[in-house]
Amino acid sequence: MKAFVVTHYGKDGVQARDVPVPTVGHNDVLVKVHASGVNPLDRMVRDGDFKQLLKYKTPFVLGHDVAGVITDVGAGVPGFAVGDEVYARPRDMRIGTFAEYIAIDHADVAHKPASLSMHEAAAVPLVALAAWQILVEKANIQPGQKVLVHAGAGGLGSTVIQLAKHLGAHVATTVNGARAELVRALGADVVVDYTTQDFADVLSGFDLVVDSVGEDNLLTSLTVLKPGGLAIGVTGPPDADFAKQLGAPKPFEFVLSFLSRKVRNAAKKLRVRYAFFFMQASGAQLHQLAALYDAGRLRPVLDSTFPFDRTLDALAHLENGRAKSGKVVVTLD
C-alpha cells in the first residue's frame, strides 16, 4: 500500500513509500482509510519534538486522525464488523493514518457519526477528544463558568467553543476579525479581534483559558483568570505530569518541570494554575461525541481538503499558516 512515512526527523523527513498492509492483531480492526485529518501534532512528531518520550522508530507512517471502513476484524474484537464505518484517533506509538490502510486497537475506535461524511468525520477525532478531555475531565466545566478559547477559528478552538457552550459555559475567544462571524455562529459570547485589541484589557475573571498560541500569549492569559483558575497549554511548555502520563522515567519529570518553571512560577504568583495538555485515545469518548454530532450539538469546521497524493502539500498548508479556519483533511476516496 502507499503511505507517507517519516524516514528521519525534520521538515524534509516525510516521503511517499510503498509499505506492507498492516497485520491485524487479536484486538485490532483493519481500516481502509477514506480520509485523514491533518494536525499540528503531525508536524511536532515529524520534527521529533517528543522523540525522547514518544520513541517512534523510523521509518514510521505519520497521521493521527482517520475515518474509514473496517475490512478485517481481530479474533478478540467485540462490537465491530467488516463494513462498519468508523472514526478514530489511534493511540500513540500506533499512529499512521496517512496511508491506505491502518490497523487500530478496537478500544480506540468508534462508529462514525451517521450525520457526517467521511471527510467531516476525519476532521473530528483528535480535536473532539482534546476538547472533551480538557473541558470535562481536566477542568470539570459547569454551567455559568467562564472559558476563554484562543484561536477560536482553528480546528481545536472551534470544537472547544461548541462543547463549552453545550456544557453551559460563557465563552470568549480571540480570532482575526475576519473570522468573528464564524465563531459567533459556533456559540462564542465574546469575540476579541487580536489584530486590534489586547484580550487582557477587556477580559477578566475566567475559570479556564485554553491556549494553543503559547509563549507570551500564555503568560498574559494567566492574568485574566480568577484566583484558582486554570490555564491549559496545548503547545507547551510540557510539565512533569506529561512525563507521568507517558510513563517516562523519573528524570524526565524533573526536566519537564524545569522547562515549564517560568509559566508555573508566574501562575503561582497570580494564585492560578497551569497544566500542559496532551490528549489520549478513547473509542468510548468518541462514541459519546458521535451522539453530540448527530444531535447537532457539535459540527466539524473544515478549512480545505487535499487528495492523498498531495499529503505533503496539506502538511505545508497547515504548517505555513495558510489554514484560516477549521481542519485540513486528506482524502483517499
Closest CA to 2 of 15, 65, 12, 13: 15
Closest CA to 124 of 329, 332, 331, 333: 329
Tally of CB atoms within 10 A around 204: 11
CATH superfamily of 126-276: NAD(P)-binding Rossmann-like Domain (3.40.50.720)
> What are the Cα distances from residue 117, in Å, to 126, 242, 302, 314?
17, 34, 12, 19
pLDDT of residue 214: 85
Instruction: Give the pLDDT confidence of 166-202 residue by residue, as tens digits.
Output: 999 999 999 999 999 999 999 999 999 999 999 999 9
CA gap 35, 122 in Å, rounded: 6
DSSP string, 183-224: HHHHT-SEEEETTT--HHHH---EEEEEESS-HHHHHHHGGG
pLDDT score of 327 more than 90 = yes
pLDDT of residue 102: 98
Contact 324, 152 (CB under 8 A): no
pLDDT of residue 54: 87
Instruction: Give the pLDDT confidence of 247-289 residue by residue, as tens digits.
Output: 767 777 767 776 788 999 999 999 999 999 989 999 999 999 9
> Which triple of cell numbers denotes residue 321?
499558516
Instruction: Give the pLDDT confidence of 77-108 residue by residue, as tens digits.
Output: 999 999 999 999 999 999 999 999 999 999 99
The least confident of 136-140, 235-239, 294-298 is: 235-239
Residue percentage of the chain with pLDDT more than 70: 98
pLDDT of residue 32: 98
pLDDT of residue 244: 77
Q: Which residue's C-alpha cell is 493521527?
A: 64
Q: Which segments of 7-59 are extended strands (E)?
A: 14-18, 28-38
pTM of the entire predicted model: 0.95
pLDDT score of 242 more than 80 = no
pLDDT of residue 273: 96
pLDDT tier for residue 237 given thresholds of 50, 70 and 90 = confident
pLDDT tier for residue 162 given thresholds of 50, 70 and 90 = very high
* Residue 232, helix vs strand vs coil: strand
pLDDT of residue 166: 98
pLDDT of residue 262: 92
Mean pLDDT computed over 232-250: 79
> Which triple of cell numbers denotes residue 314?
496539506
Going from N- to C-terminal start, the domains of the chain cover: 2-124+300-331, 126-276
pLDDT of residue 52: 84
pLDDT of residue 322: 87
CA gap 323, 82 in Å, rounded: 35
In a 10 Å sphere around its CB, with 0-12 CB exposed, 13-18 middle and 19+ buried, how is residue 136 labelled? middle
pLDDT of residue 215: 86
Instruction: Give the pLDDT confidence of 118-134 residue by residue, as tens digits.
Output: 999 999 999 999 999 99
pLDDT tier for residue 157 given thresholds of 50, 70 and 90 = very high
pLDDT of residue 294: 98
CATH of domain 2-124+300-331: 3.90.180.10
